[in-house]
Amino acid sequence: MPSPVVQLTSVTKRFGDAPPVLDGIDLTAQPGEFISLIGPSGCGKSTLLRLLSGLTPPTAGTLDVLGAPPGETDRLAYVFQDPTLLPWLDVTGNVEALLRLRNLPAAERAARREQALRLVRLTDHARHYPRQLSGGQKMRVSLARALTLRPDLLLLDEPFGALDEMTRDHLNEELLAIRAEQNWTAFFVTHSVAEAVFLSTRILILAPHPGRIVADIAIDFPHPRTDELRRTDAYLRLVAEVSRQLRAVEPSHATP
Amino acid sequence: MSRRLLPPLLTGVLILLAWLALHTALPPSQKFLLPTPGRILAAASERAPELAAATGWTAAAALGGFALAATVAVGFSLLLASSRLVRAALYPYVMVLQMVPIIIIAPILILWVGPGLPSVIIVTFLISFFPMVVNNTQGLLSADQNLVDLFRMGKATPWQQLWLLRVPAALPYFFAGLRIAAVLAPIGALTGDYLVGTTSGGDAGLGITAMICSTRSEIPALYATALIACALGWLFVGTVSAASWAALHRWHDSYNH
Ligand SMILES: Nc1ncnc2c1ncn2[C@@H]1O[C@H](COP(=O)(O)OP(=O)(O)O)[C@@H](O)[C@H]1O
Ligand SMILES: [Mg+2]
């Protein structure tokens, strides 16, 4: 049994005196898992990712991320909901921005950058500035930037939430294709059940007040997954089932 | 003719026509109040050497004060942006710098520094410093929070965070402040010349020249100094605008084509 990528034991997070945002989270992620986090707004999904990345410390409990406390690994990459690009740099500059922070030599930077650009199919736009790109292209740049770190753990916080459905579907397929080449473990926050079912090997449903995991659903569809999957009965049934479980924890549906 | 040049040229022609119309409408005894552009030009060419020297002197004072203010503003804003505590301690006094009336500073400057170029540069500095330091500081603090998080996660050193994130993010603000200062600096140099300048040694700037023209009631020459001062202002603003364009047009939304 390989050692887990992520191990959380009784993790609690509160901000100031407010009631805990996350309470008693136990969670283990094995290498290669693609875990979607889904739940009502404000239930602590982003906070969980920030805990994993070391951006914020837990109030109680222990986290182990890639064999170390959070924030100590350099094999973790984070993709924000907004593309979060540096507007004064072109695509090339943005994609290699994190490598620059690590002071990697130019040749190594160029090699990783070219590979990442190829993976997200943006090689032709290397000289464009962010404002010249569409929403989907900007998100691809953001993803490419994360991939240059050659991560073992990829955290994505609603990365495609602002995109239209067509673009989102395409990016989902691309993301799985990249995963097949690179084999990172992923935590993926989304509001879209369909997206979660398509991408994930496992879906965690979170309930609010306090944030906690209320369902842990395995998604066993074989890889590679293509657009065909979206039209199978098994897929549609699973989407319906996860939606039903999610509705049970959505505040607006909890009481009739 | 290009589309960008036509509108301002048309406006200029309209202003000129209105000017001439007003001149024509004035009763003969009052016409001296608004001389024709022709008479202003004639007066300017009569005094060309004197005006040229004064313009050069004022331009030097304006440039000196402007450059000094820009440099100090950059350093000071880096200090102000470094911590909330520093800001709380220093910001009120930066404001005071702008609030003390130049009219009151002037006699003090004459006592301390004496009349002449250094005092005029200090007045220019005082007038153009404030918008730059405020804009720079705002800019340095304006970096997107997600980008700050990204840099933190990338384990950026404070130095990297400053040079690769905060400074570039501040550039649009920096140029906005610079542009306001470019308008203020020539005015500051003129005012300074008027208040703390000197006529000794042929060191007269446009402010003193204007004062002399007005005491001698040489109205066309007075208009000439005013127009030259405007031209100087345009030159300053134009130069800053060009630099701003060069630094920002590729990426900043204010230059959307
Ligand atoms: N830095 C913070 N300070 C105080 N409260 C916070 C902070 N970050 C998040 N919260 C609170 O934690 C809760 C969960 O937020 P978040 O993790 O962003 O939810 P989600 O991503 O699931 O929508 C919210 O109620 C939010 O107001
Ligand atoms: Mg969130």
Instruction: Tell me whether residues B150 and A87 touch, CB distance under 8 A.
Output: no
Residue A103 has pLDDT above 60, yes or no: yes
Residue A245 has pLDDT above 60, yes or no: yes
Select the residue from B251, B252, B255 to test the A interface by mutation, using most A Cβ atoms within 10 A.
B251
Which residue among B150, B155, B168 places its CB closest to the CB of A84?
B150
Ligand 1 close to Cβ of residue A45 (< 6 A): yes
| Residue pLDDT, tens place only, B38-87 | 999 999 999 999 999 999 999 999 999 999 999 999 999 999 999 999 99
Q: From the CA of A128, how many Å to the nearest CA of chain B? A: 9
- Helix, strand, coil shares of chain B, percent, nearest 5, are 85, 0, 15
Here the ipTM equals: 0.87
Query: What single-letter amino acid sits at A138?
Result: K
Query: What single-letter amino acid sits at A226?
Result: T
Would you state the pLDDT for residue A232?
96
Longest dimension (CA), chain B: 77
With CA atoms as reference, report the closest residue to A132 among B257, B150, B242, B172: B257
Do A189 and A158 belong to one domain? yes
Asked, for residue B153, whether it belongs to a domain, the answer is yes
Do A122 and A9 belong to one domain? no
Instruction: Find the helix or strand (DSSP H, E) in which A197 lies.
Output: helix A193-199
State mean pLDDT over A81-103.
Answer: 95
Asked, for residue A232, whether it belongs to a domain, the answer is no
Q: Are B174 and B23 in contact (CB under 8 A)?
A: no
Do A71 and A96 belong to one domain? no
Q: With beta carbons under 8 A apart, name residues in chain B contacting A87.
A: 251-252
Length of chain A: 256
Asked, for residue A167, whether it belongs to a domain, the answer is yes
Flag whether residue A231 sits within 8 Å of chain B, measured between CB atoms. Answer: no
Give the position, in ligand 1's atom list, of the atom nearest the Cα of A37: 22
Asked, for residue B17, whether it belongs to a domain, the answer is no
Report residue B5 as tokens. Answer: 């040049």
Domain hosting residue B208, numbered range: 38-256
Asked, for residue A249, whether it belongs to a domain, the answer is no
Q: With beta carbons under 8 A apart, name residues in chain A contacting B253.
A: 131
| Residue pLDDT, tens place only, A148-168 | 999 999 999 999 999 999 999
Q: Which of residues 110-139 of A touch B (CB under 8 A)?
A: 129-131
Report residue B162 as tokens. Answer: 């400053």
Residue A5 has pLDDT above 90, yes or no: yes
Q: Are A225 and A198 in contact (CB under 8 A)?
A: yes
Q: How many domains does chain B have?
A: 1
Asked, for residue A241, whether it belongs to a domain, the answer is no
Which residue among A82, A101, A130 places its CB closest to the CB of B154?
A101
Would you state the pLDDT for residue A161?
92
Flag whether residue A72 sits within 8 Å of chain B, measured between CB atoms. Answer: no
Report residue A20 as tokens. Answer: 């805990």
Would you state the pLDDT for residue B200?
73
DSSP state of A206: E
* Reported pTM: 0.88
Query: What single-letter amino acid sits at B159?
Result: W
Do A121 and A159 belong to one domain? no
Burial of B138 (0-12, 13-18, 19+ CB in 10 A): middle
Asked, for residue B25, whether it belongs to a domain, the answer is no
**Signed CA dihedral, B175, B179, B180, B185: sign only:** positive
Asked, for residue B3, whether it belongs to a domain, the answer is no
Ligand 1 close to Cβ of residue A57 (< 6 A): no
Domain boundary (A135, A150, A165) is at A150
Q: Are B77 and B140 in contact (CB under 8 A)?
A: yes
Domain boundary (A114, A130, A150) is at A150
Q: What are phi and psi of B153, to 5 degrees?
A: -65, -30
Do A66 and A159 belong to one domain? yes
Q: Residue B205's domain is classified under what CATH number?
A: 1.10.3720.10
Select the residue from B145, B148, B153 to test the A interface by mutation, using most A Cβ atoms within 10 A.
B153
Antiparallel, parallel or unpaired: β A22-29 and A6-13: antiparallel
Asked, for residue A246, whether it belongs to a domain, the answer is no
Residue A251 has pLDDT above 90, yes or no: no
Do A1 and A70 belong to one domain? yes
Ligand 1 close to Cβ of residue A43 (< 6 A): yes
**Signed CA dihedral, B55, B61, B64, B70: sign only:** negative
| Residue pLDDT, tens place only, A131-150 | 999 999 999 999 999 999 99
The CA distance from B210 to B51, in Å, is 10
Residue nearest to atom 17 of ligand 1 (CA): A44
Q: From the CA of A159, how many Å to the nearest CA of chain B? A: 13
Which residue among B150, B153, B251 places its CB closest to the CB of A88?
B251
| Residue pLDDT, tens place only, A184-205 | 999 999 999 999 999 999 999 9
Instruction: Tell me whether residues A100 and B256 touch, CB distance under 8 A.
Output: no
The CA distance from A190 to A36, in Å, is 7
Q: From the CA of B185, how many Å to the nearest CA of chain A? A: 29
Ligand 1 close to Cβ of residue A46 (< 6 A): yes
Do A67 and A87 belong to one domain? no
Q: Are B46 and B99 in contact (CB under 8 A)?
A: no
Do A90 and A181 belong to one domain? no
Spell out, as residue ranges, where chain B has pLDDT lower than 50.
none
Q: What are phi and psi of A186, to 5 degrees?
A: -130, 140
Asked, for residue A24, whether it belongs to a domain, the answer is yes
Q: Are B196 and B203 in contact (CB under 8 A)?
A: no
Do A119 and A145 belong to one domain? yes
Q: Are B140 and B102 in contact (CB under 8 A)?
A: no
Asked, for residue B20, whether it belongs to a domain, the answer is no
Q: Are B71 and B131 in contact (CB under 8 A)?
A: no
Q: Are A18 and A209 in contact (CB under 8 A)?
A: no
Q: With beta carbons under 8 A apart, name residues in chain B contacting A53.
A: 153
Do A170 and A191 belong to one domain? yes
Would you state the pLDDT for residue B199?
76
Give the position, in ligand 1's atom list, of the atom nearest the Cα of A158: 21
Q: Residue A27's domain is classified under what CATH number?
A: 3.40.50.300
Do A19 and A137 belong to one domain? no
Residue A253 has pLDDT above 60, yes or no: no
Would you state the pLDDT for residue B117?
92
Select the residue from B142, B147, B148, B150 to test the A interface by mutation, using most A Cβ atoms within 10 A.
B150
Do A3 and A95 belong to one domain? no
Asked, for residue B190, whether it belongs to a domain, the answer is yes
Domain boundary (A117, A150, A183) is at A150
Domain hosting residue A103, numbered range: 83-150
Asked, for residue A170, whether it belongs to a domain, the answer is yes
Which residue among B149, B155, B250 places its CB closest to the CB of A101?
B155
